[in-house]
Structure formats: structure tokens, C-alpha cells
Amino acid sequence: MGSDYELEQALRAVDDFRRDLANVPADRVELMGQERRVQQVAHGIARALMKEVFERADVKQPEVTVNGVRWGNRRDSKAIYTTLFGDVEVVRGVFSRPGGGPVAVPLELRLGLVEGRYTPAVARALTRAKASMPAQEAAELLEQLGVAAVSVSTIHRIPQAIAARYEKLREQINEQLRADDHVPDGAVTAQVALDGVMVPQDGENTGARGRKTASPKAPRHETRYGPVGARGPANDDGIKGRAWHEGAVGTIAYFDSEGTRLRTVYLGRMPESKMATLADDLEDELTAALSKSPGLDVCFASDGDLHQWEILEQMALRMPHTAVGRVLFLLDFFHAAEYLTEAADLVYGTNSADSHATAAQWRETLKRAEDGAERVVKSLRYHRDEMAEGAKRERMQGIIDYLANHKSSGRLGYAQAQADNKPIGTGVTEAAAKTVVNVRMKRAGARFSQHGGQTVMTFRAAILSGRFDLLSSLLEESYKATIRTERAA
């Protein structure tokens, strides 16, 4: 086999290393250099062994069947595959059909080589790196570790290609992802919430970066998979340079009977009209959870955004009829508390002692008393009536209307929710905006194309949800095909 010689050379390097090391005085051993050399020697052996793996998966017969379609005209062709240990050159069989056209490479389809070149382990390293840090930092880290060392452009390109494949297959992949996922043992409550988050984007008229032409070709993922995902607002905003648009995050957080959070599923989508994709995904997550645990109480939560409440209320109406738990709607308590602080400042002066005391009293009443919302709104109306006509009174009326509207919609039942150990805040979802988007995507000078940003959000949300390996394995399986030869048939 072609790998025999390379393995012999790699093993000879072990002998060379040990001989050289034996000649180094004990007090002159330099650990950094020796460790790097050990890694190089080990990787040499690993590459030779990986070459054997590739060669073993090759098809030598003159014809092959791929997913039921017969291919012939076999010829040998060289290819380079990227492993955790570096690139490996392999001679493998390539098949075609009469009349030309596409070719089939059974080795790649048997092993599930990602985007025709990268092992699944390398693909996971690249997507996780892309989700965690800028490409330049990721390339430097991988080089420092000496594992899956690739170029900056590869870290940009390959995760986006994998994410494009996900977008094309998202319906079936997500269905399988949810089917294989779990509701935590002991969960009695699922809090369903969503929030907006501003994302820095490439404006419509932003010049191409890192390209020698002002009219570059379509990125490779579009060449292979076509346009993917929703068309974002940055395409039509007329803004030059960096533009900010509102993306969306969603969470389903599971709590036990004591109110302890057990687990959270995170979702994130780039800006699009009416948060449509995020809303659909969040509803599908809830439906899947209720199919497994129909007794879950469901607490829909958000801040005061009316469109978000419309999404959640419609979601509640479409819950499966098999769901038997209670349904609650709660305005984020801390959002309501901000309005009470502002109201107290209007009455007693900003940051005054009386303002702090009154706001604290109102918050405690709203949170603890069964009729807390009614009592607080009544108190606010009293203070409004004591105010002279003007801007302060108008603002107080706005606060009253805000809280009264949520009260009439049944979203201020904090006392009962606390008694039942239900979450009354949306801190989990606000944290999602920070962890999914802000920490990774709002660095100085950062901006993202619609698909580039979605690539980061998709894999970052999967990591935070504990789903990264499962999502990766489902995507990796999509690169495989059923290979049969005459002998196997």
C-alpha cells in the first residue's frame, strides 16, 4: 500500500528523535522545542495511518453504485484531504457516467468528507472555532495547538459552507435534532421567551473586503448551495459601511418544582422581517418538548414589545391539544420594575431618597401581593392626578397605560407565579442576547453579512444548548452516501 513507505519514514523519525534526545545533556533539555518535535513526529505517524484509513475506504472495482445509481469509467486521481494532523495526499478512484458531467468519489462519500476535503473532526474544530472567536484568532490558536491548523480564509469559508448546507436541510435536520434531544428529568415548567438584539451588518453599499475586485464572484457556499436563509434588511437599507439591524434570540428554559433552572435551549437568527424564522423555530421547539412532556407548565415571557407578545400569544393558541399543563403569561418583572422606578422619579425627583423608597415599595407590592398590579396602578393614578398638566403628567399616564394594558392581558400575576416557583424574569433570554450575539459579534469594527452572521449564531446557539455534537453528527451524516460494488452486491 502507498502508506507503507510513509509509515516507515514516520517510524524512522521516532528513532531519530530518541537518538537525538539521548545526546542532549539532562540540564540542557528544552521542553518547548522537544514537545513541538514530539508533536511533529506523532503527527507524521498519524498522517501515515490516516492515509491507510482513506485507502481502505477506496473502491478498486471498475463500477460502483452510489445511492442506487450506477457509476463506471473508474480512473485514479490524486486528492489532498485535511485531517487533525495535517494534509494527507491520497490516490483514489473517481467514477463518471457516460457523456461526462459530475463525478463520484466513493471514498469521500463513504467517509463523509465534509465539503469534499475535511474530516468530520476538522469540520467540528472549524465550526466551533468560528462560533467562538474571529477567524484570525481561531487560526492563530489552532496553529499554536498544532491541531487542524488551517488558513484564516478556510475558517471563514468552510463553516459558512456547512451552515449553508444546514439551511438547505434545516427542516429535516431540526426535526431529527429535536427528536434526539431531551427534556430534563424533573422539569415541571418551560419558560418560552424571545428578545431582539442589534447586530452589526454589512450595509448594502459596503465595498467588498479582502477582494481585488469591486465585483467579486458569489461566495463558494452560494455556488454550491445557492442563496440560503432569509434576505436581510442590510441588503436594501441604502447604508454605506456598518449598519445595525435587529436580530432575534429565543430560549426555552426548563425549571424544576423548586424553581431551579435545569437547562436552556438557545436559538438565534439574523435580522429578518417579523422575526419569522426565529418564531417558527421557537414554536417547533416547544411542540417537540410538549410531545415528550405534555404535563409541562408553559410560561410565556417577554418585555413590553407588542410584536413579541403577538408571536407568543399565537404560539399559545397553537399548542398541541395533548398538552395538559398550565399556561401563564408574564411580563418580565424587571422590565416592569424599571417603569416603577421612572414613575417614582417623576413624583419625587430623580434618585431622591423618597423616590428610591417609593419605587421599592411599589415593586414589592407588585411582586408579593395577589392584587399587587391593581394596587400599584391605583397609586400611580393618584400621583398622576396630583400633577400639573405637562410633560411629567403625560409620561406618568404613559407608564400607567403600559402597566394597565399588561394587567388586563393577565401578564402581571407575579405573586401567584412566585408561590408556584415559576420564573418571573427573562434574564435567561437577555443573557442569550449577550452570549449568542454580543460577546462574539460586537467586537470593535465587527460587521457580518447575513449568512456569515447566521453561521456564527447557528453554531454558537448549538454549543450553548449542549447540541453542538448532535448537530455536527447530523450534518456529517448528510455528506455520506450508500456505496455498493459488484462484489458487495
**Of 391, 419, 447, the domain-final residue:** 419
The answer to whether residue 383 sits within a structural domain is: yes
Q: Tell whether 366 and 249 lie within a shared domain.
A: no
Q: Say whether both 291 and 351 belong to one domain.
A: no
- Lay out the sheet containing 483-485: strands in order across: 86-96, 69-83, 64-66, 483-485
**pLDDT recorded at residue 236:** 78
Same domain, 339 and 360: yes
Total domain count for the chain? 2
Task: Give the residue among 362, 359, 366 at the shortest CA–CA distance from 351.
Answer: 359
- Contact by Cβ (8 Å): 336, 412: yes
Ranges of residues in the chain whose predicted pLDDT is under 70: 1-2, 203-216, 241, 487-489
Q: Does residue 215 sit in the same domain as residue 281?
A: yes
pTM: 0.92
**Residue 200, SS3 per DSSP:** strand
User: Using one digit for the tens of pLDDT, what is the confidence trace for 243-259?
Assistant: 899 999 999 999 999 99
**Do 312 and 430 belong to one domain?**
yes
Interatomic CA distance for residues 407 and 209, integer angstroms = 51
Q: How high is the pLDDT of residue 247? A: 95
The vertex-307 CA angle with 303 and 312, nearest 5°, equals 75
The kind and range of the H/E element at 148 are none
Cα(340)–Cα(363) distance, rounded to whole angstroms?
A: 7
CA dist list (Å): 231 to 76, 204, 207, 270: 42, 12, 19, 10
Who contacts 316 (Cβ-Cβ below 8 Å, separation ≥6)?
A: 298, 300, 327, 329
Residue 140 lies in a domain: no
d(CA 21, CA 461): 47
Q: Going by C-beta distance under 8 Å and a sequence separation of 6 or more, which residues neighbour residue 99?
A: none
Whether 169 is in a domain gets the answer no
Same domain, 269 and 309: yes
Q: What is the pLDDT of residue 488?
A: 46
Q: With contact defined as beta carbons under 8 Å apart, do 83 and 46 qualify? A: yes
Other beta carbons within 10 angstroms of residue 378's beta carbon come to 11
Q: Which helix (H) or strand (E) covers residue 333, if one does? A: helix 333-348
Q: Is residue 162 part of a domain?
A: no
Question: In this structure, are 457 and 375 located in the same domain?
Answer: no
Instruction: Give residue 378's Cα distance to chain centre.
Output: 44
Beta bridge partners of 86: 83
Dihedral angle, C-alpha 171, 173, 174, 179, nearest 10 °: 120
- Name the one residue in this structure whose C-alpha cell is 513507505: 5
Whether residue 236 is contained in a domain is answered as yes
Q: Beta-carbon neighbour count of residue 104 at 10 Å?
A: 23
d(CA 169, CA 260): 35
Phi, psi of 127 (to 5 degrees): -70, -40
Q: Is 320 helix (H, G, I), strand (E, B) or coil?
A: coil
**Whole-number pLDDT of residue 218:** 79
User: How much is the pLDDT for 215?
Assistant: 64
Q: For residue 489, what pLDDT is reported?
A: 42
pLDDT in tens, 91-118: 999 999 988 889 999 999 999 999 999 9
In terms of residue numbers, what domain contains 192?
Answer: 182-332+425-466
Residue 2, pLDDT score: 60
- Residue 352 makes CB contacts below 8 A (sequence gap 6+) with 345
Q: Is residue 105 in some structural domain?
A: no
State the residue for C-alpha cell 484509513: 53
Angle among Cα 107, 114, 61 to the nearest 5 degrees reads 10
Q: Are 270 and 160 in contact (CB under 8 A)?
A: no
Does residue 399 belong to any structural domain of this protein? yes
Q: State whether 292 and 382 are in the same domain.
A: no
Extract the C-alpha cell encoding 242: 456598518
Residues 258 and 403 in one domain: no
Residues 369 and 278 in one domain: no
Does a structural domain hold residue 78?
A: no
Q: Are 385 and 454 within one domain? A: no
Is 313 found in the same domain as 201? Answer: yes
314 Cβ neighbours under 8 A, 6+ residues apart: none
Residue 116 region by backbone torsions, left for phi larger than 0, else alpha for psi between -120 and 50, else beta: left
